Amino acid sequence: MRRLAQGEATVTELIDQVGLSQPLVSWHLGKLRLAGLVETRRIGRETISRLLPEAWDRFATYERRVLGLEGADAAQRRSAVS
């Protein structure tokens, strides 16, 4: 995720970054793609992946709401301003 946050990357570049096997990296990318958080495209034999920032923003908002942190964030911002 950290590498994709910097920009698009091929599966080979991701393997080099994390030191995991190609099947494992591809499996994780597949799960992230199914969740709608990553988009992939093919150029020849290479698969290029990129994060979808808008999807991550929606996910973070949902996570804060589910964890009950949404109101806490707003309260912290208000107390920091006061």
What confidence tens digit (pLDDT) does each residue in 2-31 have? 899 899 999 999 999 999 999 999 999 999
Asked if 36 and 77 count as a contact pair (C-beta separation under 8 A), the reply is no
pTM over 0.75: no
Q: What is the DSSP string of 14-81?
A: HHHHH---HHHHHHHHHHHHHTTSEEEEEETTEEEEEE-HHHHHHHHHHHHHHTT-HHHHHHHHHHHH
Name which residue leads in pLDDT, 23 or 56. 23
pLDDT at 77 over 60: no
Q: What residue ranges define each of the domains in the chain, with the CATH number in brackets?
A: 1-51 (1.10.10.10), 53-82 (no CATH)
